[in-house]
Structure 1
Amino acid sequence: MDFALPADLVAYLAELDAFIEREIKPLEAADDNIRFLDHRREWARTDWDAGGLPRAEWEALLGEVRRRADAAGHLRFPLPAEFGGRDGSNLWMAVIREHFAAKGLGLHNDLQNEHSIVANFPQVLMFRDFGTPAQQREFIGGMLDGTRRLPFGLTEPEHGSDATFMETRGVRDGDGWRIDGEKMWTTGMHVATHVMLFARTSGEDGDARGITCFLVPADAPGVKVEEYLWTFNMPTDHPRVSFNGVRVDDGAIFGREGEGLAVAQHFVHENRIRQAASSLGAADYCVRESVAYAKTRKPFGKPLAANQAIQFPLVELATQIEMLRLLIRKTAWEMDAMTKPEVATRLSDKVSMCNYWANRLVCEAADTAMQVHGGIGYSRHKPFEHIYRHHRRYRITEGSEEIQQRKVAAWLFGFAGPGREGG
Structure 2
Amino acid sequence: MIPNEEQSALLDAARRFSRERLLPTYMQREKDGITDRALLREMGALGLLGVDVAPDYGGLGVDGVTTGLIVEELAYGDFNISAIVLVMSLCGAIIARNAQPEVAAKWLPRIPTGDAILALSITEPKCGSDAGSLVLKARRDGDFYVLNGEKTSTTYCDCADAFLVFARTGTVEQGARGVTAFLVPSDTPGLQTTRFSDLGSHMSGRGSVFFDDVRIPASHRLGDEGKGFSQVMAGFDYSRALIALQCLGAAQASLDEAWAYTKEREAFGGPIARFQGVSFPLVEGETLVAAARQLSYHALALRDAGQAHTVEAAMVKYLAPKTAFDVIHQCALTFGHYGWSMDLPHQQRMRDVMGLEIGDGTAGIMKMIVARARAGREATEERGAA
Superposition TM-score tier, normalisation by shorter sequence: 0.7 to 0.9
For 2:108 and 2:115, locate their aligned partners in 1 and report how far apart those are by CA, in whole Å.
Answer: 10
CA contact (8 A) 1:166 1:205 kept: no
Matched, 1:372 2:370: no
Structure 1's 287 and 138: CA in aligned 2 closer, same or farther, altered over 3 A?
closer
CA contact (8 A) 2:71 2:82 kept: no
For 2:10 and 2:118, locate their aligned partners in 1 and report how far apart those are by CA, in whole Å.
Answer: 31
Partner of 1:167: 135
Matched, 1:295 2:283: no
Partner of 1:242: 210
For 2:144 and 2:41, locate their aligned partners in 1 and report how far apart those are by CA, in whole Å.
Answer: 40
Matches within 5 A, 1:315-394: 315-338=283-306, 342-343=307-308, 347-394=309-356
Normalised by the size of structure 1, how large is the TM-score?
A: 0.79
Report the secondary structure of 1:257's partner residue: coil
RMSD between aligned residues: 2.9
Partner of 1:6: 4
Report the secondary structure of 2:172's partner residue: coil
Q: Deviations over 1:279-323 (max 9, x none)?
A: 222222322322332233223434323333323322322221232
Q: Deviations over 1:399-423 (max 9, x none)?
A: 222111111111122338xxxxxxx
For 1:231 and 1:382, locate their aligned partners in 2 and report how far apart those are by CA, in whole Å.
Answer: 19
2:64 to 80, 90, 98: 90
Structure 2: which amino acid aligns with 1:42? E
Structure 1's 278 and 145: CA in aligned 2 closer, same or farther, altered over 3 A?
closer
1:59 to 36, 53, 66: 36
For 1:335 and 1:397, locate their aligned partners in 2 and report how far apart those are by CA, in whole Å.
Answer: 21
For 1:41 and 1:217, locate their aligned partners in 2 and report how far apart those are by CA, in whole Å.
Answer: 26
CA contact (8 A) 2:94 2:232 kept: no
Partner of 1:211: 179
Q: Deviations over 1:310-358 (max 9, x none)?
A: 23322322221232233223332222211xxx43xxx210111122211
Partner of 1:111: 80
Structure 1's 369 and 246: CA in aligned 2 closer, same or farther, altered over 3 A?
same
Structure 1's 289 and 155: CA in aligned 2 closer, same or farther, altered over 3 A?
same
Aligned length: 378
Matched, 1:230 2:228: no
Q: Deviations over 1:143-172 (max 9, x none)?
A: 445555432221111111111112211234
Displacement after TM superposition at 1:182 (Å): 0.7
Report the secondary structure of 2:175's partner residue: coil
For 1:76 and 1:189, locate their aligned partners in 2 and report how far apart those are by CA, in whole Å.
Answer: 20
For 1:252 and 1:76, locate their aligned partners in 2 and report how far apart those are by CA, in whole Å.
Answer: 21
The runs of 4+ residues in structure 1 deviating greater than 6 Å are none
Structure 1: which amino acid aligns with 2:238? E
Matches within 5 A, 1:21-60: 25=20, 36-38=25-27, 40-43=28-31, 45-46=32-33, 54=34, 59-60=36-37
Structure 2: which amino acid aligns with 1:69? L
Structure 1's 190 and 326: CA in aligned 2 closer, same or farther, altered over 3 A?
closer
Matches within 5 A, 1:179-194: 179-194=147-162
Partner of 1:51: none
Identity percentage over the alignment? 25
Structure 2: which amino acid aligns with 1:377? G
Displacement after TM superposition at 1:178 (Å): 2.9
Partner of 1:221: 189
Choose 303-312 or 141-150, whichever is displaced more.
141-150
Displacement after TM superposition at 1:278 (Å): 2.2
For 2:143 and 2:12, locate their aligned partners in 1 and report how far apart those are by CA, in whole Å.
Answer: 56
Structure 1: which amino acid aligns with 2:62? G
Displacement after TM superposition at 1:7 (Å): 4.2
Partner of 1:397: 359
Structure 1's 206 and 314: CA in aligned 2 closer, same or farther, altered over 3 A?
farther
Which runs of 5 or more residues in structure 1 are unaligned?
Answer: 47-53, 417-423
Report the secondary structure of 1:114's partner residue: helix
Structure 1's 68 and 173: CA in aligned 2 closer, same or farther, altered over 3 A?
closer
Structure 1's 315 and 205: CA in aligned 2 closer, same or farther, altered over 3 A?
farther
Q: Deviations over 1:43-75 (max 9, x none)?
A: 3x13xxxxxxx1xxx6144234224324xxx43
Choose 247-256 or 347-356, whichever is displaced more.
247-256
For 2:51 and 2:216, locate their aligned partners in 1 and report how far apart those are by CA, in whole Å.
Answer: 35
For 1:413 and 1:380, locate their aligned partners in 2 and report how far apart those are by CA, in whole Å.
Answer: 46
